[in-house]
Amino acid sequence: AQSVAQPEDQVNVAEGNPLTVKCTYSVSGNPYLFWYVQYPNRGLQFLLKYITGDNLVKGSYGFEAEFNKSQTSFHLKKPSALVSDSALYFCAVRVNSNTNAGKSTFGDGTTLTVKP
């Protein structure tokens, strides 16, 4: 079984400050890890992923995430938040397998609000 936890329903930061959105996971085997962002009344947009290699992954819009195997975490970060980053963020995990089969498990989402 696989699972994802996003422990914070809501994260509030001031514009220009660094932001972190937390994600921890549980999976049997090596994980594929993903972050998506959702703006109101829209589908999810892919931000970044960890498959293998460097633990620090850089993605779209200046976001990055660090894969920490010992802590089973994949927190999303950005050095300087923008008001336009305000949205709903989802973390997802899937087992890394040769067949590339299987479905991803999504966290419950974290609403990020960046205030000017």
> Which position among 17, 26, 45, 80 is part of the footprint of other proteins (CB under 8 A)?
45
- The interface region with other proteins, picked from 12-20, 38-46, 63-71, 75-83 by CB under 8 A, is 38-46
Whether 34 and 51 have beta carbons less than 8 Å apart is answered as no
Q: Which of residues 80-109 bind other proteins (CB under 8 A)?
A: 90, 94, 100-101, 103-104, 106-109
82, 83, 84, 87: CA torsion to nearest 10: 110
* 103 in Cβ contact with 1 (< 8 Å): no
Task: Kindly tell me which residue out of 26, 42, 56, 69 binds other proteins, with binding defined by CB under 8 A.
Answer: 42
Residue from 13, 19, 24, 34 in contact with other proteins (CB under 8 A): 34
- The amino acid at residue 98 is N
**Number of CB atoms found within 10 A of residue 23's CB:** 26
- Measured from the CB atom, the residue of 41 and 70 that comes closer to other proteins is 41
